Amino acid sequence: MRWPRMRRMLQRILFGLTVVAIVVISLAPFVWQVISSITTDRELLARPPHWLPEEPTLDRYRALILGEAYPGISPALLRSAANFRGAFVNSLTVAPLTTLASLVLGTLAAYALTRLRFPGRQGLFFGILAARMLPPISLVIPLYLAMRALGLMDTRLGLGLVYLSLTLPLVVWIMSAYFRSIPWEIEEAAMIDGCSPLGALVRVILPLSAPGLVAAGVVTLLFAWNEFFFSLIFTQTLASKTLPKAISEFSTELGAGLDYGLVTAGGVLTSLPPIAIALFFQRYLVRGLVGGATKG
Amino acid sequence: MRAMTQASKLHTPRRRINRQWLFAYALLAPTLLLIFIFNVWPLVYSAYLSLQQYSLLFPIRRFVGLENYRFLFEDPEFIAALGRTLYFVVVSLALETTIGLAVALVLNERFFGRGLVRTIVLLPWAIPTIVNGVLWRWIYQPNFGALNGLLWQLGIIDEYVHWLGEPWRAMNMVILADAWHMIPFYTLMFLAGLQGIPDSLHEAARVDGAGWFRRFWHITLPLLRPILLVILVIRTIETFRVFDIIYALTRGGPGGGTTVVGYYAYEQAFSFADFGMGSAASMVITLSVLVLAVLYVKLLYRDELLH
């Protein structure tokens, strides 16, 4: 009687410790980024590190958000910090607009692919799916040459169009899976009541697949906000530079004067929107990824 | 799927079929046009460029056949980059699948605060890859980094280590940083798979006297197979073309020790301005990924037939 109870308790303790370890490991690096971002330059160079800052400071956030100088910041660094606001505006323009366009166009395409009969349907569906697998590196050289020729280099429009082409397959994929789960009869009833096919889509099918729209929107938004590779190559100035590119420049442009303090503060600000979105829409995220992945 | 096809067969009057075709193509036109301009054409043009000598450093642009590919496969750096990529793919997938599944199994149990913990574990995945890169570069920093500080205070190391200063160690540290970022994706997918397994199966096995391990091996694992396959193929494709984390952490260094094929192709094209060679290297990546993509679509297609 004694032993099994002891064993169960031991098991429970071990399980609890495992959960605590999972939570700590998941949070620690990001928490360290937040702590570093409010630690003064002098304390950042402590050995061993100060795990909690003695004199916490919000100077770096003030520099990034308001463009204010703080003691010890070099003119070059202040310029980088001021660039951050412009990059924030660019990200805030490119990501939502890409998402909106992608949802509208992708939904229409998914509707055609799942609800209408026409020659080449199956082939087009798998063609669109296959486009999702293309490695960015295989597209970037011709796109670089084309965008230079067309004057789309270093524009938000150019970057947004590339993102749109990359997110469309994803939206088509997720929305097709949703449309397939909606019985054909519901739509038929609407059409008998006098709806056009497009009317049936907007009034009947879309409300029923709202979770799919949210899922596709969240996945697209996260992609467009976080994307780095194309931003690295297609954007150069504040005319189009997005946050990931701006961050990568804090950490390299300055060479030896690498400023980890400013990098961590910029990293926190850049991560907050996607973290908030992912956590808030967690349920939809799971549905979007898994629904799209298993129902194809 | 079958029901749908039947329905449209039954309920679409013949004379309207052509109008329906036009309507379908009109709805698809913007998507297809964008995918054609930004995905299909660049891919074809990239294949064409890979057969040319086209470098901004040489004045003459000319057709050279498979010369670029021959050069690639005779370049020990490229072969080494292929080897490093394979190492990155295999070690990442093994590590991430094991830990991702273990975490999912823990979070599938009932305990106080489970919902909150499930939300917390998602956090690393939401961080942009480039921010993850610079964050870990700060943690690995040789003189003031947190990893050195922590291990030193715990007495595990006697002196600070240059984590990214040596090729193999740097590669493994890059893999670790990427794993921290990507494991939540595995956990999320596995959890969804686990929730699809009815409790009654485990109950029945428990009544029959099967222990935890046997139930895991004979019930959980086989039922997770479909989602496991999907995860593996998606992640193989992603890790094969890894770039962001390498760029942020090591820039392919030290001494080329973390130069994977994706980074090699990028350097050829955008550091050495050699578009011919860059295209050839990227075509090698594309062909490798294409094989995996075909496999992927086939897997999904088979799944669809089963349902």
Q: How many CB atoms lie within 10 A of CB A88?
A: 19
State how far the alpha carbon of A130 is from the alpha carbons of A296, B28, B229, B243, B296, in Å: 12, 16, 17, 21, 9
State how far the alpha carbon of A72 is from the alpha carbons of A59, A69, A248, in Å: 11, 9, 22
Whether residues A32 and B139 touch (CB distance < 8 A) is answered with: yes
Any CB–CB contact under 8 A between B40 and chain A?
A: yes
Continuous segment of H or E residues that includes residue A85: helix A75-115
- pLDDT for position B113: 92
Q: What is the pLDDT of residues B244-285, one digit of tens each?
A: 999 999 999 898 999 999 999 999 999 999 999 999 999 999
pTM as predicted:
0.90
Any CB–CB contact under 8 A between A112 and chain B?
A: yes
Any CB–CB contact under 8 A between B8 and chain A?
A: yes
Any CB–CB contact under 8 A between A100 and chain B?
A: no
Any CB–CB contact under 8 A between B296 and chain A?
A: yes
Most A CBs within 10 Å, among B9, B46, B78, B130, to test the A interface: B130
In the predicted structure, residue B297 carries a pLDDT above the cut 70: no
Res. B304 pLDDT band, cuts 50 70 90 = low
What is the spatial distance between Cα B143 and Cα A119, in angstroms, rounded to a whole number? 64
User: Which residues from chain B sit within 8 angstroms of residue A121, using beta carbons?
Assistant: 24
What is the spatial distance between Cα A116 and Cα B28, in angstroms, rounded to a whole number? 11
Q: What is the pLDDT of residues B35-82, one digit of tens each?
A: 999 999 999 999 999 999 998 888 788 899 899 999 999 999 999 999
- pLDDT for position A203: 84
Q: What is the pLDDT of residues A86-105, one digit of tens each?
A: 999 999 999 999 999 999 99
Structure tokens at B86: 């394979």
Sole residue written with tokens 């370049």: B75
Helix (H, G, I), strand (E, B) or coil at A197: helix
Full 3-state SS string of chain B: CHHHHHHHHHHCCHHHHHHHHHHHHHHHHHHHHHHHHHHHHHHHHHHHHCCEECECCCCCCEECCCHHHHHHHHCHHHHHHHHHHHHHHHHHHHHHHHHHHHHHHHHHCCCCCHHHHHHHCCHHHHCCHHHHHHHHHHHCCCCCCHHHHHHHHCCCCCCCCCCCCCHHHHHHHHHHHHHHHHHHHHHHHHHHHHHCCCHHHHHHHHHCCCCHHHHHHHHHHHHHHHHHHHHHHHHHHHHHCCCHHHHHHCCCCCCCCCCCHHHHHHHHHHHCCEHHHHHHHHHHHHHHHHHHHHHHHHHHHHHHHHC
Whether residues B42 and A139 touch (CB distance < 8 A) is answered with: yes
Whether residues A184 and B128 touch (CB distance < 8 A) is answered with: no
Q: Is the dihedral of CA A95, A99, A101, A106 positive or negative?
A: positive
Any CB–CB contact under 8 A between B196 and chain A?
A: no
Any CB–CB contact under 8 A between B3 and chain A?
A: yes
Whether residues B247 and A263 touch (CB distance < 8 A) is answered with: no
Q: What is the pLDDT of residues A181-200, one digit of tens each?
A: 888 888 888 888 888 877 88
What is the spatial distance between Cα B24 and Cα A238, in angstroms, rounded to a whole number? 40
Res. A292 pLDDT band, cuts 50 70 90 = low
Continuous segment of H or E residues that includes residue A10: helix A2-37
ipTM of the complex as predicted? 0.90
Gap from A253 CA to chain B (nearest CA, Å): 12
Distance of CA B198 to the CA centre of its chain: 30
Mean pLDDT computed over A201-220: 88
Comparing CA positions, the residue from A243, A242, A253, A273 lying closest to residue A158 is: A242
Residue type, A107: T
Q: What is the pLDDT of residues B181-214, one digit of tens each?
A: 999 999 999 998 998 888 888 888 888 888 888 8
